[in-house]
Amino acid sequence: MNKYKKITLDGLIFQNPTFMLVLGTCPTLGLINSAFSAMGMGLTVVVILTLSNLLISLLRKVIPNEVRIPCYIVIIATLVTFARMFLQKFLPDLYDSLGGFLALIVVNCIILGRAEAFANKHNVLESALDGVSQGLGFTAALTLMGVICEFLGKGSLFGYEIMSFKIAMLATPAGAFLVYGLCIAVFVYVIDGFERARRVKANKLARENMLTEVA
């Protein structure tokens, strides 16, 4: 059970694709000026990443090692094309707000990266879980920054106007870079502190154990 917990926590926090690995930066920077499109992009990636991890893990014994990358690309491209058709048909608003970045999910390093680094070495269940948790980590990060940028940059949240005060620069790519950079700094700082505390706690526990043993 611990294995699944680790995969989940890794995806969401310790190996968060956006803040810790800094992957998939193009759609992140391009879409966080609106919380709606940022979240939409995140959820689209969750679906595609989960399905691609699942399929690649299923086929990992069938696909010869020499042609695995082209095969992965074809599978991912198929899923993206399917997602594009689906959104165009049923969620045209989201389709419009994602614009060119929808097709560019194909070259999103997270998806190919997880296929290569995880799915072709693990079983179906683990791979799918990894896909969901990595995808949700990506979604959470994008939504967080989308909320910050949209609230401060446009004075609105998910398209609803909240205040008239706005720092328009934060809704531009320049603002996206700034917010992204600062979010990474804060996130890494918090995680570092957390890990240090965990280490200190473990050391303390060990020392106490030692002491009790000695006593």
Partner 1 sequence: MTAKQFFKSTSFKCIATLLGVLLVCGIFLTIMNGLLEVTEEEKFQRVLSSIYGKNVTTSEQNISDKNTDLKAAKINNVYLVEDDGNYILNVTGKNAYQGNVICWVVVKPSADKKSVGGIGNVKVPSTGNDSQSFLNKISSSMFDRFAQDYKDGIIYSYGFDDSDQEGEMYVKTDASYTMRGVCNAVNGSIQFMNAFLSGGDIEEEDPYKEYAYHGLINMESTSWVKNGSEITYSIVTTGNAPAASFEITVTVDESKTVKAFEITKHGSTDGTAYGGLTIEQYNEIVDANVAKFIGKDADYFAGILGEDEKAATNAGFADNELTSGATKSTVLCLAAAAFATSNYELIINTLEYTSRIDMENTGWTVADGEITFTIKTLKNAPADPFEITVTVGADKTITALEITKHGSTDGTAYGGLTIDEYNAIVDANAAKLIGKGLDYFKAVLDDEGTNAGFADNELSSGATKSTVLCLSAAAFAVANYDYCLTHVGGGESNE
Partner 2 sequence: MATFIAIVLAAVLTNNFITVKTYGVCPFLGVSKNTSSATGMGIAVTLVMVLATLVTYPIYTYVMVPLKIEFLEIIFFIFIIASLVQMLEKIIQKVSPSLYGAMGIYLPLITTNCAVLGVTELVIGDMSKFLAGASMNIGWAALYALFAGLGFTLVMIIMSGMREKLNYYKTPKAIAGFPIAMVTACFICMAFTVFSYIS
For residues 39, 107, 91 and 11, what is the CA-based torsion angle, rounded to 10 degrees? -40
Nearer to partner 1, 21 or 63 (CB): 63
Q: Is 85 in the site for partner 1 (CB under 8 A)?
A: yes
How many CA atoms within 13 Å lie on the side-chain side of 127?
26
Question: For residue 87, which of 41, 156, 33, 49 has the smallest C-alpha distance?
Answer: 41
Nearer to partner 1, 81 or 123 (CB): 81
Nearer to partner 2, 73 or 147 (CB): 73
From CA 144, how far away is CA 121, in angstroms rounded?
Answer: 31
Helix (H) or strand (E) run with residue 156 in it: strand 156-157
Residue 67's binding partner among partner 2, partner 1, none (Cβ under 5 to 8 angstroms by kind) is partner 1
Nearer to partner 2, 80 or 128 (CB): 80
Residues 23-82 that bind partner 1 (CB under 8 A): 59, 62-64, 66-67, 70-71, 74-75, 77-78, 81-82
Q: Is 4 in the site for partner 1 (CB under 8 A)?
A: no
Backbone angles phi, psi at 160, to 5 degrees: -95, 125
Q: Which residues bind partner 1 (CB under 8 A)?
A: 59, 62-64, 66-67, 70-71, 74-75, 77-78, 81-82, 85-86, 88-89, 92
